[in-house]
Amino acid sequence: MSALPDGAKSPSAGRPLVEVVRAGRSFDVSAPWLNRFLQREGRSILRAVDDVSFTIARGETLGLVGESGCGKSTIARLLVGLHAPTSGAILFDGEPVARFARSPAMRRRAQMIFQDPYASLNPRWRVGRIVAEPLRLHRAAVVDAGAEPRVREPVTANAVADRRIDARVDALLMQVGLSPADRLKYPHQFSGGQRQRISIARALATQPDFLVCDEPTSALDVSVQAQVLNLMKDLQRDLGLTYLFISHNLAVVRYIADRVGVMYLGRLAEVAPTKALFANPLHPYTRMLLEAIPDLEKTGTSRVAVAGEVPNPLHPPSGCAFHPRCPHANTRCVAERPELKPHGLAMVACHGIEEGRIDPVAVPAVVA
């Protein structure tokens, strides 16, 4: 099953770079055995990701949005092999992601940028060592960044490799807008935006094809966010990178993503091209998220308040997980879980859209 509808952006090569097919991930969050025995309780299983399918084409950016706890970060960890799916399949360039653990060559091709740039950098290491770490782990990824300096004494193969690594670190720092002299500094000597640039440089060290960006700008000021986003778009254009971009900020996703996936309680509610989703949101949950965005142009107009709260993921509602908060829910929504189905340029999991009970907004001609 693919969440790429007819007419949407297709891969430049024969198949998508990333394919997620009915993937699920469960966690056992049960109390210790003795507690459960004394209290006569069963196991508690949390389905963080439940039957999710989508694809990401080469050179594309897929944005992933949703409220906290909907499974976005779990999907990020599944895609880089930090978690193994408990059901379904995840393919990277046609190969199972499970091979990341056994194949350094595959593992080099997918890297991750984390939310907090300070927490993801070792505060006891200088920047040069931080950026060089993946190069030393994957020496085959080191490229000759220039001519070797002339030395009088003979050098060993390791010394030559170390010089090449140093030259590569300097090139990476300049690529993300920093100075080679910054290699001697520690992370605490940089601003938040500069630390995130260091994280990006480290992620680019092994020349990856795919970057998973887990809210990389959420801890930054607005002006710094713009600088980092522009840097990421420039790098994507120059290096042909593919992104999965996770964020709570819909304005950021609108700027950087080619397509957007909306998640709710471990499942995809809607996947659509960015322009189509913002001009014509189909799923009631997507409309609720967009209604919550502050907009000066809508001052004085009535707006739909965000209703209800996210259900307990340990005991999700029957049928459509969104039905307790949905103004369009009926008995079918309570009893039957909707599947992600094509509707125009989008894929949407909603009985109301399928049955025509929810009228879609007319899509501007520029989107079509």
Q: In terms of residue numbers, what domain contains 78?
A: 18-109+206-355
Span between the terminal Cα atoms of the chain, in Å: 24
Q: Give how far the C-alpha of residue 261 lies from the chain's centroid of Cα atoms, to the nearest Å.
A: 10
> Looking at residue 304, what is its pLDDT?
62
Cβ-based neighbours of 38, under 8 Å, separated by 6 or more: none
pLDDT > 90? residue 173: yes
pTM equals 0.85
Instruction: Tell me the torsion sign for CA atoms 316, 334, 72, 56.
Output: positive
- Looking at residue 276, which CATH number applies to its domain? 3.40.50.300
> Looking at residue 57, what is its pLDDT?
96
Confidence bin at 293 (pLDDT 50/70/90): confident
Residue 10 in any domain: the answer is no
Structure tokens that stand for 365 in this block? 């001609």
Residue 196 in any domain: the answer is no
How many structural domains is the chain composed of? Answer: 1
Residue 124 in any domain: the answer is no
> Looking at residue 160, what is its pLDDT?
75
How many CA within 13 A on the CB side of residue 308? 14
Residue 142 in any domain: the answer is no
Please name which of 234, 163, 172 lies closest in space to residue 203, comparing C-alpha atoms: 172
The SS3 of residue 95 is: strand
pLDDT > 90? residue 262: yes
Residue 254 in any domain: the answer is yes
> Looking at residue 145, what is its pLDDT?
41
pLDDT > 70? residue 152: no
- pLDDT per position as a tens digit, 331-358: 999 999 999 999 999 999 999 999 988 8
Residue 168 in any domain: the answer is no
Mean pLDDT of the chain: 86
- pLDDT per position as a tens digit, 63-116: 999 988 899 999 999 999 999 999 999 999 999 998 887 788 888 999 999 888
